[in-house]
Structure 1
Amino acid sequence: MKNTCLAIVLGVSAFASASAMAADIPFPHLETTGRGEVVVQPDMAVFSVNVVETKKTAVDAKLAVDQAVTKFIERLQAAGVDKKDINSANISLAAQYNYPKDHKPELVGFKANRSVEVTVHQLTKLNSYLDDALGDGINQINNIDLKVADSAKYQQQARQKAIENAKQVAASLAQGFGNRIDGVWQIDYDTNSQPMPYMRANSWVGGARQDSIDQSYTDNNIVIKDSVNVIFKLAEK
């Protein structure tokens, strides 16, 4: 049995190093990039909201945002959200000035900004949480990030598809040129692969039922992608 030397390179610069090393390989070879993806439905989400208030004094501004956040957290916990899934520790406070022409700046008040990040494990409740936020004085919804709880499992599936794709492409190319694959010389893997979510279009005319609105948040897909660069040895003719 032939002995095959296999190198595995991990990191962002993997592709560059593979190309550089491939130029020095003293035997017939070919390079391929295998790609794989898995499409899954999200089963959780993380959303963030903001409350911004401007008042005459710093104390009043802070009090206003604190009260709104406290009411929101109380409603979330009453609805069954675990305290560990609520992050509300950050706050910013800044003086606000008016700048009249040819006059010194005038202090007009203080702006307080406080955000809350919530992890939702039941997507069917996401819309009600957002409604609660707006009802409690929160005046900005910043982001809704759809996720899957077991992303590592799906990332592994996408990786295996990428590996199979690299093998199939290499075998097809070698066969097309009247040759065959004779082992793997180097594997370069980008460890920064991340799930790529995309939204599937949803639309309806006014008067939609509540369950339809809830479905508009959950009827989406997350595409988890992966890729691998491989240098294959070709059989000696």
Structure 2
Amino acid sequence: MKQSRMLWVGGVAIVAALVLGFMVAVLGQKSATPAQAQTTPAAGPNGYSGITVQGTGVVILQPDVVRLNVGVTLKAATVSDAQKQSADTSAKITDALKAAGIKAEDIKTVNYSINPDYTYEPNQPPKLNGYQIDNTLQVTIRDVTKTGSIIDAASTAGANQINGINFTVENNTDALKQARAAAVADAKAKADQLAAAGQVQVGSIINIVEVAQNADPVPMVANDARAAAAGSAATQIESGQLKVVVNVQVTFGISK
């Protein structure tokens, strides 16, 4: 009996020791949590702590390539007549373009369509008048100063549809590099201003995201091709400038 009482007392002591150890561990963990939270800086909306700003870089270029569509739209009584007239006119346009200095590899067909031409009257079935053909060539001009004269040559040869003038640059890789560098520099200047206002110093870059980039030329056409074909003043084309824009979002660390 005495031995069983000693075993029971010993068991109670062991359980009490285990419960006490568990409570100490839990209380220790809870007391450590506030201290850990105080040493962790709050993250910004993008997940990074620091100064987050946006920067813009702009590089102005002169276009060195022009692409435009020239073609002929005509109607004839039959498909075969329409095809023959279209082929003859398209050949004349192509010859005129080549004579103006355009290489064969810079001329390609981008549209060729044949559609019936109907007349619609009330309470009457559609009347077939003939067929319409649209034959369009895309022309790449590598000397932008000749754009107006090439349009005149095409219209004189029979082109009655000229549109889609697009000024661009053959290679904008260097311009994009310059715009990116300017965008990051712009972001750094903004971060410096914010840091000075907050009486802190800008640290190293933590994160960079390129938000957007674009190159958007704005051409202007002074006279249309039909006026040139009628013998008026030569068509004047203003190439304008090509603006390469890069936007970045940069997060800088903060050092006190």
Fold match by TM threshold 0.5: yes
Partner-residue secondary structure (3-state), 2:159: coil
Q: What residue is the counterpart of 2:11 in the other structure? A: none
Q: What residue is the counterpart of 1:18 in the other structure? A: none
Aligned length: 206
1:49 deviates by 1.6
Go from structure 1 to structure 2 and tell me whether the alpha carbon gap of 1:116 and 1:57 turns closer, same or farther (over 3 Å shift): same
Q: Where in structure 2 are the equivalents of 1:147-166 lying within 5 Å? A: 147-166=168-187
- Contiguous gaps of at least 5 residues in structure 1: 1-20
Go from structure 1 to structure 2 and tell me whether the alpha carbon gap of 1:44 and 1:56 turns closer, same or farther (over 3 Å shift): same
List structure 1 runs of 4+ shifted beyond 2 angstroms: 21-27, 198-203
TM-score (norm 2): 0.73
- Contiguous gaps of at least 5 residues in structure 2: 1-42, 224-231
Asked whether the 8 Å contact 2:165–2:219 carries over to 1, the reply is no
Go from structure 1 to structure 2 and tell me whether the alpha carbon gap of 1:182 and 1:50 turns closer, same or farther (over 3 Å shift): same
Go from structure 1 to structure 2 and tell me whether the alpha carbon gap of 1:66 and 1:89 turns closer, same or farther (over 3 Å shift): farther
C-alpha distance after superposition, 1:144-178 (max 9, x if no partner): 11122232211221111111111111122111211
Counterpart-to-counterpart distance in 1, 2:222 and 2:130: 43
RMSD: 2.5
Q: What residue is the counterpart of 1:59 in the other structure? A: 80
Q: What residue is the counterpart of 1:229 in the other structure? A: 249
Q: What residue is the counterpart of 1:23 in the other structure? A: 45
1:200 deviates by 7.9
Q: What residue is the counterpart of 1:175 in the other structure? A: 196
Of the three residues 129, 138, 143, the one matched with 1:122 is 143
Counterpart-to-counterpart distance in 1, 2:90 and 2:46: 61
- Work out which structure has the larger RCO, using CA pairs closer than 8 Å and 6 or more positions apart in sequence: 1
Asked whether the 8 Å contact 1:50–1:141 carries over to 2, the reply is yes
Q: Where in structure 2 are the equivalents of 1:56-95 lying within 5 Å? A: 56-88=77-109, 90-95=111-116
How much identity, in percent, do the aligned residues show? Answer: 26
For the pair shown, the structure with the greater C-alpha radius of gyration is 2
Of the three residues 128, 131, 135, the one matched with 2:152 is 131
Q: Where in structure 2 are the equivalents of 1:193-204 lying within 5 Å? A: 193-199=213-219
TM-score (norm 1): 0.78
